[in-house]
Amino acid sequence: MTESHSKHILSIMVDNEPGVLARIVGLFSGRGYNIESLSVSEVDSDRFLSRVTVVTSGTKNIIDQIKAQVRKLIPVHNLIDITELKSFIGKELILVKLDIKQKTVIKIHEHIKNIGAKILFEDETVIIIEFSGTPTEISSLIKKMKVYNIVELTRSGLVSMALGKDYIRR
Amino acid sequence: MMKKLTGARIVIEALIQENVKVIFGYPGGAVLPIYDELFKQNKIRHILVRHEQAAVHAAEGYARSTGKVGVVLVTSGPGATNTVTGLTDAMMDSVPVVCISGQVPTHMIGNDAFQEADIVGITRPCTKHNYLVKEISKLAESIHSAFHIAKNGRPGPVLVDIPKDIQTFETKYGGKKHTKSFAFYKPNTKPSLDTIIKFVTLLEKSKKPIFYVGGGVINSGSRASLYLKKLLKITGFPCTQTLMGLGATPTSDDQFIGMLGMHGTYEANLSMNKSDLMICIGARFDDRITGKVSGFSPKSKKIHLDIDASSFNKSVNVDLLIQGDLSKILEMTLKYIEKKGISFSKEKISAWWIQINKWRAKNCLNYKNSKSIIKPQYALQRLDFLTKHLDPFITTEVGQHQMWAAQFLTFNKPKHWMTSGGLGTMGYGLPAAMGVQIAYPKDLVIDVAGEASILMNIQEMSTIKQYRLPVKIFILNNHYMGMVRQWQELLHGNRLSESYMDSLPDFVKLAESFGATGLRVSKPGEVDDLIKEMIKIKGPVICDVVVDPKENCFPMIPSGSTHDQMLLGPNDKLEGEISEEGMVLV
C-alpha cells in the first residue's frame, strides 16, 4: 500500500542570523525530505526576520514530521502550511535570456507582449525578459519560449501567502 | 558601575551564574584565555580528560546521574571535532550538555587556519542548537541561552563556539539577570485537560493494557517517577521499560515485566504484541523497540505522552497524543482520577495478568549455567546480588554485556543507569562512570564493560588515576566483539569476520600501570570473592572476568521480525531465512 504524496507550501518565519538557512536545508537533506522550491529573504529589518518558502512533497505523516522538525529549530518563530489554508496565492519570477536572430526579433517582441512579459534588456545579440506568474504559467511560458533559442533562464522559486488575514504573524 | 571584563572572564562568570560546579575539558591554543581564567578562580572544578570524546561522555554521565547540565570545554579544530561522537550520543539520548569550544580568531575564520574546523557547521545536525559568537556583545547571551535550551523541553547538547579574539575583548557583564532575554525558547509543557480526560477514559476501558515507559520519565525528574509509580499502583497495570527508561520506576516491582525490544523479555514483548491499550510514556517507538513496524502491536489503541511533538506519529501512528512535561501530565492525570473518584477494577485485567504470568513462567532469561566456565549472565546476577543494597550507579559500554546488564541488574532508583541507547557508542561507559563518580564521590560506580568496548576510551584510566576516582570496571571478557559475533553466527553463516579480539592487553597489569587494582577470575566459584574484594577496595579496580566466549544474548528479535517471533535460546532456530528486508537492517 502506498500512501498518496501531496505537495505542500511551507512558509517559515526565522531569525535572520548566519546559518539559519543551513539549519533548514540540512534538516531536509539529513532526514531525506524533498525540496522542490526554496526562496528566502529578509522581510522585517527591524526585528531581523526572514521568510522562507519551501515547496515540498510527501505523505501526510512525512509532512507532519517535517513541520514538527522544522518547528523544533530554535531560530524558527512560526511555520504555516499555506496549502492547508482555504485560499492562497503563489507566484514566481523568471528571467529568460533569448538569442536574437534578425529575422525573428519582431516576432519575439509581439509574442512577449501577448504573453504579458516585460523586456528588461535588449541589444543586437540578446533579449532578457521578465515574467511573473504561478508555477503553471511559468512552465507554460518556458514551453512557449522554447521555439526561440534560450541562452539561459533563472527562476526565483515560489513565494506565497494566504488571502485575507495575515496568518504568519502570531 | 559595571566593570568591563574580558570574554574569557565572562565565560567563567556566566558558568558560575549557571551554578556550574565542574567542567570536563582539555586545553589547547584557541581556549588558552579561558583556561587562564579558570586558573584564577576556585568556584569551578576542571577535570582534565585524556580525549575530548571522553569529556562529553563524562559530562553526560554527570548530567544523567544528577539531572544538571553537563559542561565541556575544548579547543578548536581536533579538540572540537573529537566531541562530535559525544554530542551525537547526547542528542540521541536527550542529555543536557553545554559544550564550549575555542575557535580561531574571527578574522582568520574561513582561511583554513591552524586548528580551524567549522564546528558549528559540523555539529549543526548533532546538537539541539549551536552558536558561533562573532561579537563580544553576544557572548553572555549565547552562554545563558545555551543552558536554557539544553535543559528545557526535550534536553539535548548545545555547543558555543568562541573565537580566541572574542575571549580577549572586553565588555560589561551584569550577570544572567541583566543579559538580554534569552527565554524566547518556550516549549509547550502543559497538557490540556481535555486530553487528560480522554486518556483516563481509555485507561478505564482497557482489558489488556500495558505501560511502555522510556527515558523521558527520568529526564522529567523525580516527581515524574513518583507520579508514575502511583499511577501504576492505582491501575494495577503491567509495566515494561525501554533501555533508556530502566529505573524510572523500580524494576523489582511485581508489575514490572522486564525490558522490551530486541533483547527484551518474552513477557514484555508478547504483552506489547497482544495488548489492547499501549500507554507510551516518554519513549519514541525506536526500531529496537518496535521490530517490524507493520506487525507492531496490531490490535492496540496507542497513547503517546511526550514533550517532543516531533516524536508523535514518527514511526508508529497513535490514537491519542498528549504533549507536555511528563510530570505535569501525570500529576494532572492523578488529580483528575482522584477528583472524579475513579477506581480501576483489578478484575477487569485479571485474565490479562494470568496470561502475562503464563508468559513469565517461560523464564525467558534462563540460561544453562556451568561449573567450569563463567557465564556472563551468572557474573551479572552475582554482581547484582552482592551490590544491590548499595544502590550502585551502573554505566555500560555497548554490546552483549550491555544487554545482559539491562536484563540481569536491578534498578530501583532513577538516574542510576547510564548507557548509550540511541547511538550505541562503544567507549561510553568508562568516561560516563567518571562523570558519575565526580558527582557522587562516595558512591559505588560500576562500569559493566566488554573487553572490546573498554579499549575505545581506555586512556581515561589516566584521568581516573589523577583524580583518584574509585570507579569499578567490571569487564565481561569473552575475547570477541560479542554482539558482532552473535549477528555473524545468526545472519552471516558463522563467518566471524574481524570480530575476534586478538592481542588484548593484560588487564591486571594495565590496571596496575595506572595505579589501580587489577583482579582476574575465570572460574564460577571465584566470582563472589572477586566482587566482594572489588567493593572493599577503596580505589579504582579493573575486574577481568573471563567468561564463556560463545555465549549469546537471548531473547532476541531478529531484525525485520515482530515481537511474537522471538528467539529464546541457542536451540531456537530462525523460521526460514531472514528476509532481505531484515538483512539490511542493523
Q: Identify the burial level of B119 via C-beta atoms within 10 angstroms of its C-beta, where 0-12 means exposed, 13-18 middle and 19 or more buried.
A: buried
Reported as a pLDDT band with limits 50, 70 and 90, residue B11 is very high
Mean pLDDT of B378-390: 98
Per DSSP, the three-state class of A54 is: strand
Q: Which residues of B303-329 are buried (b: 16+ CB within 10 A; e: fewer)?
A: bbbbbbbbbbbbebebeebbbbbbbbb
> What is residue B577's predicted lDDT score, i.e. its pLDDT?
64
Give the residue, A2 or A140, on which the prediction is more confident: A140
C-alpha grid cell, residue B66: 544528577
Interface membership of B125 toward A (CB under 8 Å): yes
Beta pairing, strands B239-241 & B417-418: unpaired
Give the one of A26, A68, A71 whose C-beta lies nearest to B124's C-beta.
Answer: A26
Reported as a pLDDT band with limits 50, 70 and 90, residue B579 is confident
Residue B222 has pLDDT above 80, yes or no: yes
Interface membership of B534 toward A (CB under 8 Å): no
| H-assigned helices in chain A | 20-30, 60-72, 105-115, 135-145
> What is residue B582's predicted lDDT score, i.e. its pLDDT?
75
Residue B231 has pLDDT above 70, yes or no: yes
Q: What is the mean pLDDT of chain A?
A: 92
Phi, psi of A6 (to 5 degrees): -135, 160
C-alpha grid cell, residue B365: 532469561
What are the C-alpha distances in Å from A96 to residues A21, A124, B170? 27, 16, 52
Position of cell 559568537? B133
Residue B575 has pLDDT above 80, yes or no: no
Determine the Cα–Cα distance for residues B262 and B285; give it in Å rounded to an integer. Answer: 12
Mean pLDDT of B318-342: 97
Active site positions of B, annotated: 52, 114-115, 164, 483
Residue A2 has pLDDT above 70, yes or no: no
Give the one of B124, B185, B309 whose C-beta lies nearest to A23's C-beta.
Answer: B124
Give the residue extent of every domain in chain B.
4-178, 193-360, 376-546
DSSP states along B246-278? TTSS-TTSTTEEEE-STT--HHHHHHHHH-SEE
Determine the Cα–Cα distance for residues B166 and B495; give it in Å rounded to an integer. Answer: 55
Mean pLDDT of B81-104: 98
B129 to chain A: nearest residue by CA? A74
Tell me the chain A residues in contact with residue B149 when contact means C-beta distances shorter than 8 Å: 74
What are the C-alpha distances in Å from B434 to residues B15, B25, B75, B144, B524? 21, 13, 21, 26, 29
Tell me the chain A residues in contact with residue B317 when contact means C-beta distances shorter than 8 Å: 61
Q: How far is CA B219 from the centre of its chain?
A: 10
**Bridge partners, A10 (sequence order):** A54, A81
> What is residue A103's predicted lDDT score, i.e. its pLDDT?
66
Structural domains in chain A, sorted by start: 6-84 (3.30.70.260), 89-159 (3.30.70.1150)
| Radius of gyration of the CA atoms of chain B, in A | 25
Share of chain A above pLDDT 70, in %: 95
Residue A1 has pLDDT above 50, yes or no: no
> What is residue A4's predicted lDDT score, i.e. its pLDDT?
86
> What is residue A121's predicted lDDT score, i.e. its pLDDT?
96
Structure letter (DSSP) for residue B362 = T
Tell me the chain A residues in contact with residue B125 when contact means C-beta distances shorter than 8 Å: 26-27, 30
Determine the Cα–Cα distance for residues B442 and B99; give it in Å rounded to an integer. Answer: 27
> What is residue B36's predicted lDDT score, i.e. its pLDDT?
98
What are the C-alpha distances in Å from B291 to residues B180, B303, B407, B561, B566? 47, 19, 18, 6, 10
Mean pLDDT of B529-549: 98
> What is residue A86's predicted lDDT score, i.e. its pLDDT?
81
| H-assigned helices in B361-451 | 376-387, 400-408, 429-439
Q: Which amino acid is at B381?
A: Q
Structure letter (DSSP) for residue B370 = -
A67 to chain B: nearest residue by CA? B310
The closest of A118, A120, A125 to A102, measured between CA atoms, is A125
Per DSSP, the three-state class of B7 is: helix
Distance from CA of B120 to the nearest CA of A (A): 9
Tell me the chain B residues in contact with residue A68 when contact means C-beta distances shorter than 8 Å: 309-310, 312
Mean pLDDT of B359-369: 96
Tell me the chain A residues in contact with residue B122 when contact means C-beta distances shorter than 8 Å: none
Reported as a pLDDT band with limits 50, 70 and 90, residue B182 is low
B25 neighbors B38 (Cβ within 8 angstroms): no
For the domain covering B4-178, report its CATH number: 3.40.50.970
> What is residue B84's predicted lDDT score, i.e. its pLDDT?
98
> What is residue B1's predicted lDDT score, i.e. its pLDDT?
65
Instruction: Quick: pLDDT tens for B391-402.
Output: 999 999 999 999
B76 neighbors B117 (Cβ within 8 angstroms): yes
For the domain covering B193-360, report its CATH number: 3.40.50.1220
Determine the Cα–Cα distance for residues B585 and B286; give it in Å rounded to an integer. Answer: 13
Q: Which residues of B1-16 are buried (b: 16+ CB within 10 A; e: fewer)?
A: eeeebbbbbbbbbbbe
C-alpha grid cell, residue B495: 563467518
Residue B213 has pLDDT above 70, yes or no: yes
Position of cell 582561511? B111
Q: Which CATH number fits domain B376-546: 3.40.50.1100, 3.40.50.970, 3.40.1710.10, 3.40.50.720?
A: 3.40.50.970
Q: Which amino acid is at B462?
A: S
> What is residue B188's predicted lDDT score, i.e. its pLDDT?
85
Q: Same CATH topology for B4-178 and B193-360?
A: yes
Residues with Cβ within 8 Å of residue A136, at least 6 apart in sequence: none
> What is residue B196's predicted lDDT score, i.e. its pLDDT?
97
B154 to chain A: nearest residue by CA? A72
B104 HSE (CA, 13 A, CB side): 15
The closest of B204, B208, B229, B209 to B217, measured between CA atoms, is B229
Residue B576 has pLDDT above 80, yes or no: no
Interface membership of B313 toward A (CB under 8 Å): yes
Instruction: Quick: pLDDT tens for A78-134.
Output: 999 999 988 899 999 999 999 987 667 888 888 889 989 999 999 989 999 999 999
Residue B78 has pLDDT above 90, yes or no: yes
B213 neighbors B249 (Cβ within 8 angstroms): yes
C-alpha grid cell, residue B61: 554521565
> What is residue B570's predicted lDDT score, i.e. its pLDDT?
87
DSSP states along A6-47? EEEEEEEEEE--TTHHHHHHHHHHHTT---SEEEEEEEETTT
Determine the Cα–Cα distance for residues B33 and B6; give it in Å rounded to an integer. Answer: 9
Q: What is the mean pLDDT of chain B?
A: 96
> What is residue B187's predicted lDDT score, i.e. its pLDDT?
87
C-alpha grid cell, residue A35: 525540496
Residues with Cβ within 8 Å of residue B418, at least 6 apart in sequence: B60, B61, B64, B65, B393, B394, B395, B396, B429, B432, B433, B436
> What is residue A3's predicted lDDT score, i.e. its pLDDT?
75
Interface membership of B509 toward A (CB under 8 Å): no
Instruction: Quick: pLDDT tens for A135-150.
Output: 999 999 999 988 888 9
A76 to chain B: nearest residue by CA? B185
Share of chain B above pLDDT 90, in %: 93
Give the one of B128, B132, B309 whose C-beta lies nearest to A68's C-beta.
Answer: B309
| First-to-final CA distance of chain A | 39
Structure letter (DSSP) for residue B75 = -
Instruction: Quick: pLDDT tens for B287-313.
Output: 999 999 999 999 999 999 999 999 999
> What is residue B34's predicted lDDT score, i.e. its pLDDT?
98
Interface membership of B129 toward A (CB under 8 Å): yes
Tell me the chain A residues in contact with residue B185 when contact means C-beta distances shorter than 8 Å: 74
Mean pLDDT of B193-199: 97
Instruction: Quick: pLDDT tens for B437-491.
Output: 999 999 999 999 999 999 999 999 999 999 999 999 999 999 999 999 999 999 9
Q: B32-39 and B7-17 are packed helices; what angle lies between their axes, rounded to 10 degrees?
A: 60
What are the C-alpha distances in Å from B261 to residues B218, B251, B340, B424? 19, 16, 36, 15
| First-to-final CA distance of chain B | 61
Position of cell 570473592? B529
Interface membership of A25 toward B (CB under 8 Å): no
Share of chain B above pLDDT 70, in %: 98
Give chain B's count of helices (H) and strands (E): 23, 20
Residues with Cβ within 8 Å of residue B525, at least 6 apart in sequence: none
B479 neighbors B549 (Cβ within 8 angstroms): yes
Mean pLDDT of B328-355: 97
Asked if the Cβ–Cβ distance from B121 to A22 is below 8 Å, we say yes
B261 neighbors B254 (Cβ within 8 angstroms): no
Interface membership of A106 toward B (CB under 8 Å): no
Asked if the Cβ–Cβ distance from A72 to B309 is below 8 Å, we say yes
> What is residue B179's predicted lDDT score, i.e. its pLDDT?
83
